[in-house]
Structure 1
Amino acid sequence: MIPAQFNAKETEQKWYDYWMKNDYFSSRPDHRTPYTIVIPPPNVTGVLHMGHMLNNTIQDVLIRRARLKGFNACWVP
């Protein structure tokens, strides 16, 4: 049954616990060729705009493509 109100704290904790339990925050070197994208920290004086969304989307597509091609892909935001 869907609750009447969304509880962000409860939901976030549930998924964070799941990710920790399944070791989703770790990376293990293996025989595959590495493919990594590391982005710089955001500029604290800047205002978010559509360019940020475009840049993140392109990086997401590149990482997913690398994974599909068999690379050991790591995207570090």
Structure 2
Amino acid sequence: MEIPSQYAPRQVEQRWYQTWLKHKAFTSTPDHRPAYTIVIPPPNVTGVLHMGHMLNNTIQDVLVRRARMRGFNACWVP
């Protein structure tokens, strides 16, 4: 298997985005499942993003995905 030397996001992300839309990954409808929420901290006053923001968003993403796999009604909007 040959691995490209550069990442080509358009070749990959469009396919995944369509899959996410098909499976309604960006929606959450109230139902019988327990809700799962994460309080997202406000942006900092400088408006400059840094690696701490990336780490925080990554952890939130992992926690919400885990909650979905455990049957919670979770919708994460970063």
TM norm structure 1: 0.57
Q: Which has the larger radius of gyration?
A: 1
Q: Provide the rounded CA distance (Å) in 1 between the counterparts of 2:12 and 2:58.
A: 25
- Structure 1 spans left out of the alignment, 5+ residues: none
Instruction: Provide the aligned length of Structure 1 versus Structure 2.
Output: 75
Q: Quick one: percent identity of the two aligned structures?
A: 63
Alpha-carbon distance change, 8 to 64 in structure 1, aligned in 2, over 3 angstroms: closer
- The CA deviation at 1:22 is 1.7
Query: What residue ranges of structure 2 are gaps of 5+ in the alignment?
Result: none
Match of 1:24 in 2: 25
Aligned CA RMSD, in angstroms, stands at 3.2
Contact 1:34/1:72 (<8 A) preserved:
yes
Q: How does 1:42-61 map to 2 (within 5 A)?
A: 42-43=43-44, 45-49=47-51, 51-56=52-57, 58-60=59-61
What amino acid is aligned across from residue 21 of structure 2 in structure 1? Answer: M
- Runs of at least 4 residues of structure 1 off by over 3 A? 1-6, 40-44, 53-68
Contact 1:38 1:75 in 2 (8 A): no
The residue aligned with 1:8 is 9
TM-score by length of 2: 0.56
Q: Determine which structure has the larger strand proportion and give its number.
A: 1
